[in-house]
Each structure stands twice: as structure tokens, then as C-alpha cells.
Structure 1
Amino acid sequence: MIEILSWILRIARYYEYAIVIYVLMSWLPGAQQSKLGQWLGRIVLPYLNLFRVIPPIGGMIDISPIIAILVLNFAVSGLSHLILLLF
């Protein structure tokens, strides 16, 4: 069971990296339209769109990726504590 928890933690960390890379790609012109950007968009955007209801601060700064990463970390932490509690 610890092996499964280790895989869950690893996948969540890689997904967090994918979110950060996708957000950083928005700063570079045309980066999100590249093959890598489109591929990351297919992976990351369904999750990020859940948090897009939060309006940007000052009309410019979108904090939804930060909240998405925090929710992902809280969910993984809660799941790992639950698994460790059961075993």
C-alpha cells in the first residue's frame, strides 16, 4: 500500500510541475500554441478550468493556478494521511 501511495505522490508532483510549466509558457509569445504547449494544455486545462471562476486580481493576475496547486496538495495530503491511518 505504501508503494501505491508513493506512486500517487509522484504523479501529483509531476502534475504540479506540468501546471507550473504551462503557466510559465503563457508568458512567452506562442509557447502555448507549440506542440508541447498544446499537449500540456490537454492535460492541465480541464483541471485548471475548475478554478477559472475566480476573477483575476486587478484584472490582470490570475491566481487560479495557485489555488489549483494548493487544492491538489491538500487532496494528496489528505489521501496520504487517510491511507496511512488505515494501514
Structure 2
Amino acid sequence: MACDHKGGPELIEMAEQHLRELGRAPEPGMRFRWSENLDEGMWASVIVEIERRGDAWIITRIDRRREPLDEAECGFRSLA
């Protein structure tokens, strides 16, 4: 069953675009998060996190919740 939210591949794309805009290369230890509220489906919200390990992005968190997030928590952000 397909997910109705952005997942790891989309977050990796957002992170790499963000780094290109800053003129930076991906470095080990970099972490990014995407979180959003969902309109339909069994989950009210989702949080996805990735971390750069060596030359690869690793999905470190997929948290689907039955409660919506505060709007201030939603969107793309750099964690480290």
C-alpha cells in the first residue's frame, strides 16, 4: 500500500536541494526532518528523519501518529 505522505526519498531530495542552495556538500552527521499533518487516511500526522552516514542518506525515523502536529512543528528543517 502506498503512503499518502512524503517519505525518505522525497526528504533526501529536499535535503540535497537545500544544501545546493547553500553551496554546501553533504557531510556525515547531517540530519534533516520533514513533518506534516495528513488530511485523509489512518494517520493524522507523520515525521520522517534522515541522517548522512558516510556517502549515504539513511532514514532514521518514520513516526506516524494518530494526533495532528502543531503547525509550528510541520515542514522541512535541518536538525544538525
TM more than 0.5:
no
- Structure number with the higher strand fraction is 2
- Structure number with the higher helix fraction is 1
Normalising by structure 2, we get a TM-score of 0.31
Normalising by structure 1, we get a TM-score of 0.29
